[in-house]
Amino acid sequence: MNYIDLFAGAGGMSEGFIRAGFKPIAHVEMDEAACFTLKTRVAYHYLKSKGQINFYQDYLSGKISRSDLYSKVPSHLLESVINLPIGPEFNTKIYKKIEEQLKGKKVDLIIGGPPCQAYSLVGRSRSVDKMVGDPRNFLYVQYAKFLEKYKPKIFVFENVSGLKSAGKGVYLKNMETLFLKKGYNIQLFTIEANNFGVLQQRKRIIIIGWLKDKNLRIPNLEAVKINKGYIVSHLFEDLPILQAGQGIERVSNYTTNRINKCLKDSSIRKASDILTLHVARPHTEQDKEIYRIAVNLLKKGERLNYSNLPIRLKTHSNQHSFFDRFKVVNGNSSFSQTVVAHISKDGHYYIHPDIKQNRSITVREAARLQSFPDDFYFEGFKEEKNRTAAFKQIGNAVPPLMAYKIGHMIKINL
């Protein structure tokens, strides 16, 4: 089954659907760094299918450049990543590029979801006008234009749970009306990523829509309850120990026998994987002192309240809200706090649970919390490391493991 990924981001949702047996026709994304990540993943899947994964491993090891890697891939596959913003100004151009990829084939499925900031509760709380005037509120209208254009049998629309209350429910109601007008029945599900085996608390809305003249069985996503007894520390325990500011961008000789069952079951790690992006941020002595306090409190079953810090450690001008701005990732829990794009700005909300390491989590650790496989590489804007871009992509992504479960459930019901 062929699909188009709209508002694709780094491709977390797409990765899951590929694993479930679907075939991508095009990924549409406006962020340049995310598009490089998508192209690199296109290269991975192509080279793997041709038995030439060694070229990809050479890239991860730093033996060849990104342009060298891309030269091993047919240009039309790289061109399936469309770096344009979805909207009236560029839709015609996007349609043309998609048609070049389709070559007469049909689109069976459309996946994706517009940027969530305009619907999120956090975004609205920080906005002066509560995001009322934000044009991203209406990107679902553009999504519907692609439904009208390609008439897929089914679509999967993902967004934050705040969508239900944004605009006092008006946006969601208008969305339902519009999708129905375009010929689609819909079913809305409110799901938790940790119920799909992702070791992270991540509440999301999934809307599944299907053509009204198709008699399709829609799986009940809210009935999924996967719990294999894994805890967050299982995601980190095989990784090299780092202090703040330490790490190597690409570790080509990383081997260990400690690939636990959690990493295998989640399709996160294989013995042949090359470790990348496991580099710790540098931190000030003040931040590291706060981190130690936070970790020691968690050992007692308590969370740090910023207002309770010694005065000498309280430097934020806003001391009347966001009391949990310093938060430890609880290694003994069955899920972590939600990984969001703000992790690109600082790591204070994602402190490593090991006090001996005394740092915030790395890009690779954040990716594992999101269930990305270790062979998934997050790109920057140029052929160089860009930790900020990688963190942002991870925070905005759909967990691939959750997407795989959804894709698999849809496929067996079609």
Provide the domain limits for residue 30: 2-225+397-413
The pLDDT tens digits of the residues spanning 247-301 come to 878 776 676 667 899 999 999 999 888 999 999 999 999 999 999 999 999 999 9
**Exposed, middle or buried, 225 (CB in 10 Å: 0-12/13-18/19+)?**
exposed
Asked whether residue 105 falls in the same domain as residue 193, the answer is: yes
Residues 6 or more apart in contact with residue 3 via CB below 8 angstroms: 17, 22, 23, 24, 25, 107, 108, 109, 110, 111, 152
> Which positions are annotated as active-site residues?
116
- To the nearest whole percent, how much of the chain has pLDDT over 70? 91
Q: Sign of dihedral through CA atoms 399, 62, 270, 387?
A: negative
Asked whether residue 297 falls in the same domain as residue 270, the answer is: yes
Distances (CA, A) of 31 to 10, 24, 48, 115, 414: 9, 19, 26, 11, 33
Asked whether residue 204 falls in the same domain as residue 239, the answer is: no
Asked whether residue 248 falls in the same domain as residue 194, the answer is: no
The pLDDT tens digits of the residues spanning 310-348 come to 999 988 766 666 788 999 999 999 999 999 999 999 999
Number of folded domains in the chain? 2
Residue pair 379/386 in contact (Cβ under 8 Å)? The answer is: yes
Mean pLDDT value across the chain: 91
Could you give the CA distance from residue 376 to residue 90 in angstroms, rounded to a whole number?
Answer: 29
3-state SS class at 343? helix
User: Could you tell me if residue 383 is inside a domain?
Assistant: no
**Exposed, middle or buried, 181 (CB in 10 Å: 0-12/13-18/19+)?**
exposed
User: Taking the model in full, what pTM does it have?
Assistant: 0.93
Here the CATH number for the domain that contains residue 343 is 3.90.120.10
The partner residues of 250 in beta bridges, in order of sequence, read: 276
Quote the pLDDT of residue 144.
96
